[in-house]
Amino acid sequence: MFKPTQRQVFICLTVAICCALLCAPAAQRVARVEPSKFIFTLPPGGRITDAIKVTNTRDTEVEFTAVIYDWTLDQEGRLVTFRAGERADTLDGLIKFNPRRFKLAPGQSQYVRFTLTAPKSGDWLERRGIIFFEESRPSSDPLGSTMVFQVGTTVYLSFTETVHSFRLLGVKVEATPHGPPAILLGVANEGQAHIRYQIAYQISGEDGTPYAEGAGDEQLILPDSRGLLTLPIQADLPAGNYRLSLNLSFAGTTETLTSEVPFTIP
């Protein structure tokens, strides 16, 4: 892709989208970006302006360039990025920065303003992107390659007409050969926007005696995708019959989803 020189990229994301977003240790010294994510909802043709605070955490002056990328998650939940405009859910053409390129002295901060403009018509699929602030440094290797360090924040843009639809496909408790039993949940996002949700559970015996309770970390599921979530039960359950009570809560709404499932520990 880069014929004249090799290009090594070190990515540090401050975005909170599951465990899929990994930070390269070397990139943690480039900058601090606040906040970690933006979530907007606009009417057709609507516009909104906000700002990102970028702080140089290095001990030398750094020049940054703001670049928008498309992204998704693969089947293992790992981040995959694309050049802006390659995906249908791109923010390309809907976002503008000011300034796009700037220099910061050690410890200095810069507010980068950006404006999002919603299209006036379309299928209303949520748009999303990662705004990276990139710094290029010459490499010390003999090939004369360039290292590009990135730190960024995620932006989600949905619309008043965007459809949100979450479906719980099934729940069961499964014994494991080594360790505690686990709760298995099949989930699907059948809507047009990402959904962030959290699971809390309670386990009781046949007579209603409580045995265990717990909660998982916040989860992210992208539009038009399915997933299988495994949640270990942190309790030593003796042989017997039990009832699992689940409660799923969703970020940005008061709606919840509940389910009760009987199970047996042999």
End-of-domain residue from the set 143, 159, 175: 159
Q: Indicate whether 143 and 194 sit together in one domain.
A: no
Task: Indicate whether 100 and 60 sit together in one domain.
Answer: yes
Residue 248 lies in a domain: yes
How many angstroms separate the CA atoms of 202 and 233, rounded?
10
Is 3 part of a structural domain of the chain? no
Does one domain contain both 141 and 16? yes
- Do 151 and 170 fall within a single domain? no
CATH number at residue 224: 2.60.40.10
* Domain-embedded: residue 179: yes
Which pLDDT tens digits describe the chain residue by residue (266 residues)?
322 333 333 334 433 333 333 333 444 457 899 999 999 999 999 999 999 999 999 999 999 999 999 999 998 889 999 999 999 999 999 999 999 999 999 999 999 999 999 999 989 999 999 999 998 766 566 555 556 678 889 999 999 999 999 999 999 999 877 778 999 999 999 999 999 999 999 999 989 999 999 999 999 999 999 999 999 998 888 889 999 999 999 999 999 999 999 999 88
Where does a domain end: 159, 183, 208?
A: 159
Q: Is residue 1 part of a domain?
A: no
Residues 74 and 198 in one domain: no
Q: Verify that 94 and 65 share a domain, yes or no.
A: yes
Are residues 194 and 155 part of one domain?
no
Domain region containing 115: 9-159
DSSP string over the chain: ---SS-EEEEEEE---SGGG----GGGGGTEEEESSEEEEEE-TT-EEEEEEEEEE-SSS-EEEEEEEEEEEE-TTS-EEEEETTSSTT--TTTEEEESSEEEE-TT-EEEEEEEEE--SSS--PPEEEEEEEEEEEE-SSTT--EEEEEEEEEEEEEETT----EEEEEEEEE--SSSS-EEEEEEEE-SSS-EEEEEEEEEEETT--EEEEEEPPPEEE-TTEEEEEEEE--S-PPSEEEEEEEEEEETTS--EEEEEEEEEE-
The verdict on residue 4 lying in a domain is no
**In-domain check, residue 27:** yes
Q: Is 2 part of any domain?
A: no
Q: Are residues 222 and 170 located together in one domain of the fold?
A: yes
Question: Which of 98, 126, 159 is the last residue before a domain boundary?
Answer: 159
208 shares a domain with 152: no
The reply to whether 210 and 94 lie within a common domain is no
Instruction: Tell me, yes or no, whether 179 and 60 share the same domain.
Output: no
Please count the structural domains in the chain: 2
Is 28 contained in some domain? yes
Are residue 52 and residue 149 in the same domain, yes or no?
Answer: yes
From its phi and psi, is residue 169 left (phi > 0), alpha (psi between -120 and 50) or beta? alpha
pLDDT of residue 266: 84
